[in-house]
Structure 1
Amino acid sequence: MRLCDRDIEAWLDEGRLSITPRPPVERINGATVDVRLGNKFRTFRGHTAAFIDLSGPKDEVSAALDRVMSDEIVLPDGEAFYLHPGELALAVTFESVTLPPDLVGWLDGRSSLARLGLMVHVTAHRIDPGWSGCIGA
């Protein structure tokens, strides 16, 4: 099911859908809600690993990923995050979203940023029904 702006606002009013902090009406448009980039990031460190075997035991896969990822970077309010050419960063949304069990969400980047060469979204687009939390971007 896809909701239009009126339905999104009604579901928010009824508590069927939760976005915290609630976006102003100006950020709810068509069938979308504009969310913002949060202050938590992880970047990929320069590494020489030829590959990461994702078929191995979960603890080994996690350890391999931790070797190539930075610790979580949490920026104080108002501080800028600098992404340098060739770097990849994972982040989360500022807003926390709670979907009901009968609604799937979808996260897409802004085409205006993509035209500048910034890939806004590199993880899964789908947000499963029942999801609650910040969204990985």
Structure 2
Amino acid sequence: MILTDREIKNSIASGLISISPQPPADAYASTTVDLTLDPTLRLFKEQAPGLATAVDPGMPNYKATELLKKITDPLQIPESGWDLPPRHLVLGWTRERLELPPHGRLAARVEGKSSLARVGLAVHVTAPTIHAGFKGTIQLEIINHGHLPIRLRPGLAVCQLVFEQTLGMPDKSYEGQFLGQQAT
């Protein structure tokens, strides 16, 4: 069951959802709430000509977070914005921190905004699920599928959350490698 704007606000008021800072009134649509872009991005390093490298997620002790710090560089988006070139992937975060206590029986999905998608901007590759028990900012896999650069600005309403009620409480809270993540 998807929560309406009224139920999202009620769940925030009762502590079943925590979004900090709290979204303004105009961030809510009938069944979503917008989140904004943090000024920190991570840009993938350019590969040297002749260098053949492959990511091997099947390797023992593979940790995506550790690998990403080695193959990306941080960028602080200036207030004037930064242009994401066509066919490029960058990592970003929401400015807002989300908490979904496991007893709240809620999970969420991060989705793009149609107004941005229509010019080619996507905010996740295949990772929309925000599990019950999650705490942290949401990392976004931002891709420009369009033909023109897209200007990203700090505070841009870049994505929206859809909250769903779970059937029962999970046996365990989210314990994955992205628990507590924040822009770095």
Normalising by structure 2, report the TM-score: 0.64
3-state SS in 2 of match to 1:105: strand
Identity across matched positions, percent: 36
User: How many residue pairs get matched?
Assistant: 135
3-state SS in 2 of match to 1:29: coil
Task: Quote how far apart the aligned CAs of 1:54 are.
Answer: 1.4
Give the corresponding residue for 1:86. Answer: 87
Pairing 1:27–2:27 present: yes
> How far apart, in 2, do the equivalents of 1:5 and 1:19 lie?
14
Instruction: Provide, for residues 20-76 of structure 1, a one-character-per-residue CA deviation record: whole Å limited to 9, x for no partner.
Output: 110112211211001111112111122243422211132687665444322x33346
Give the corresponding residue for 2:42. Answer: 42
Work out which of the residue numbers 53, 56, 59 in structure 1 matches 2:59: 56
By percentage of residues, which structure has more helix?
A: 1
The 3 A distance-change label for structure 1 pair 90 and 3 is same
Pairing 1:124–2:136 present: no
User: Where does the alignment leave 5 or more consecutive residues of structure 2 unmatched?
Assistant: 141-184
Work out which of the residue numbers 59, 73, 76 in structure 2 matches 1:74: 76
The 3 A distance-change label for structure 1 pair 16 and 82 is same
> How far apart, in 1, do the equivalents of 2:92 and 2:81 lie?
13
Contact 1:108 1:125 survives alignment (8 Å) = yes
The 3 A distance-change label for structure 1 pair 30 and 67 is same
> How far apart, in 2, do the equivalents of 1:42 and 1:80 lie?
15
The 3 A distance-change label for structure 1 pair 49 and 58 is farther
> How far apart, in 1, do the equivalents of 2:115 and 2:62 lie?
39
User: Where does the alignment leave 5 or more consecutive residues of structure 1 unmatched?
Assistant: none
By percentage of residues, which structure has more strand?
A: 2
Normalising by structure 1, report the TM-score: 0.84
> How far apart, in 2, do the equivalents of 1:4 and 1:61 lie?
34
> How far apart, in 2, do the equivalents of 1:80 and 1:45 lie?
20
Q: CA RMSD in A?
A: 2.3
Give the corresponding residue for 1:15. Answer: 15
Task: Quote how far apart the aligned CAs of 1:2 are.
Answer: 2.2
3-state SS in 2 of match to 1:85: coil
